[in-house]
Structure 1
Amino acid sequence: MENKKIIITGTSRGIGFELALLFANAGHQVLAISRKTKNELIEHQNITCLTIDISNSNEIKQVEKFINESWQNKVDIVIHNAGLLVNRPFEHLTTEDFEKVYKVNVFAVAELTQICIPFMQKGSHVVTISSMGGIQGSMKFPGLAAYSSSKGAVITLSELLAEEYKEKGIAFNVLALGAVNTEMLQEAFPGYEAPLSPKEMADYIFDFSLNGNKYYNGKVLQVSSSTP
């Protein structure tokens, strides 16, 4: 398999961390983006770590500089994995809460995609990690108004971009994940044990990112073995 140039956000822990290692160990070049970085990623020869806040427009522009200088103007796969979750009753959610969640879960997805599009060729794949909470008609959980609505927004965004860029051969797909036993889930729902580990979900996303665009474009796949 041809080695790919892959950008992954939210690599400090959980699914993103496992994904970065999976791709790098398979010989692909990875740009791992997060606010904090573990030594396992820093020390890997196939991983470049970019320690930035993707909700900051000035900082996210560093991605373009890196692609120009280090990757010969080419990106094969972008995985929008970073996410921010606020669990709070709707009456107590502030405008600032919504803005904070949407800056990471929606605006950064759009901005990073805009940066990468000029460097993507036919056969490239943009994978956005959404949530079952963002699926219309799915079971919803109190306290997640900002989070779930943001995950619904990126589903629609991905569907639209798939149509807008289909002539260029760039595929856009969404994986709407069910519960995965990540640190973020434990912080939001202490004591809840999800059926899948971050490594197990990363294995699935790894394969889908490399091959899913052969079968899907503009699709939302529900990846959930349980409710929630």
Structure 2
Amino acid sequence: MANVVITGANRGIGLELARLYEARGDSVTAICREGNEEIEDIADQVIAGIDVTDEENLPKVVGMLHKLLDGPVDILINNAGLFTNETVANMSLEGIRQQMEVNAIAPLNVTMNFLPLMTEGSKVANITSRMGSIADNTSGGYFGYRASKAALNAIGKSLAIDLKPAGVAVAQIHPGYVQTRMVGFTGDITPADAAAGIAARIDELTLENSGGFWHSNGQALPW
């Protein structure tokens, strides 16, 4: 049984990841801004009221998990995210700042705070996006989302290098174009399918392939 911690676990991909790991017999801790009946029914522990950008929250969560968990955090999934669209004609610098805070800085801060709970063999999965690929950008726009996910990819790569001596592997995983509220439910795959692909990539994650950037279907993505 693994101890799995998921941020942004109350809906969408996060909720389906919680459902998947719970069905596998793992212990799931859901961290979210707002709890709901679905995640309360699924997760072993729900820590609600947590804004991952609030630096004062995270040490409190770590303290709670020290008491709640039997063993280390085996899998940390940084799933919480924010998506808006800034264009040349419709620019919001504040929106860009917010996405950088939620999508890039918060996952780094969450990971750093949770490191004392991890051990050799632990894994960190950053839920990123193909839109963070500079090489793959052929349509422009989405300044904040693209930049924040590119930053997350760079952070994840550095974490993979820095945490390798401690035996902690790190992956950047693009879930696909998923039918979630974030994109108005217009995606190509269901959250359950995305969660299955993400879990498969985490299963395959080792220190040897740590630092990679993958689609949930297993495809290696360009930086």
For the criterion TM > 0.5, the same-fold answer is yes
- From 174, 196, 201, the equivalent of 1:203 is 196
Classify the secondary structure of the residue corresponding to 2:48.
strand
Who is 2:221 aligned against?
none
Who is 1:190 aligned against?
none
What's the CA shift string for 1:106-140, capped at 9, x where partnerless?
Answer: 11101100111122111110011111110121034
> Quick one: distance in 2 between partners of 1:215 and 1:199?
28
Who is 1:194 aligned against?
187
What is the deviation of 1:91?
Answer: 5.0
User: Does structure 2 conserve the Cα–Cα contact (< 8 Å) formed by 1:4 and 1:76?
Assistant: yes
Classify the secondary structure of the residue corresponding to 2:46.
strand
Who is 1:217 aligned against?
210
User: Does structure 2 conserve the Cα–Cα contact (< 8 Å) formed by 1:135 and 1:176?
Assistant: no
Who is 1:109 aligned against?
107
Who is 2:92 aligned against?
94
Who is 1:164 aligned against?
162
User: Does structure 1 conserve the Cα–Cα contact (< 8 Å) formed by 2:73 and 2:122?
Assistant: yes
Classify the secondary structure of the residue corresponding to 1:42.
helix
The percent of aligned pairs where both chains have the same amino acid is: 28
Q: Compared with structure 1, are the counterparts of its residues 51 and 26 closer, same or farther at alpha carbon in structure 2 (3 Å cutoff)?
A: farther
Who is 2:127 aligned against?
129
**What is the one-letter code of the residue matched to 1:62?**
K
What's the CA shift string for 1:52-106, capped at 9, x where partnerless?
Answer: 1111112233221122221256211111111101113245433321221111101
Deviates more, 1:156-165 or 1:211-220: 211-220
**What is the one-letter code of the residue matched to 1:146?**
G
User: Does structure 2 conserve the Cα–Cα contact (< 8 Å) formed by 1:14 and 1:183?
Assistant: yes
> Quick one: distance in 1 between partners of 2:122 and 2:172?
14
- From 165, 172, 180, the equivalent of 2:178 is 180
Deviates more, 1:85-94 or 1:8-17: 85-94
Classify the secondary structure of the residue corresponding to 1:61.
helix
Q: CA RMSD in A?
A: 2.1
Classify the secondary structure of the residue corresponding to 2:31.
strand
**What is the one-letter code of the residue matched to 1:207?**
A
Classify the secondary structure of the residue corresponding to 1:166.
helix
**What is the one-letter code of the residue matched to 1:20?**
A
- TM normalised by structure 1 equals 0.87
In the alignment, is residue 55 of structure 1 matched against residue 48 of structure 2?
A: no
What is the deviation of 1:222?
Answer: 3.0
Q: Which runs of no fewer than 5 residues in structure 1 stay unpaired?
A: 188-192
- From 25, 34, 38, the equivalent of 1:27 is 25
- TM normalised by structure 2 equals 0.89
What's the CA shift string for 1:143-174, capped at 9, x where partnerless?
Answer: 31000110000111111111111111100111
Who is 2:3 aligned against?
5
User: Does structure 1 conserve the Cα–Cα contact (< 8 Å) formed by 2:201 and 2:216?
Assistant: no
> Quick one: distance in 2 between partners of 1:132 and 1:224?
12
Deviates more, 1:118-127 or 1:67-76: 67-76
Q: Number of residue pairs matched? A: 218
> Quick one: distance in 2 between partners of 1:224 and 1:136?
20
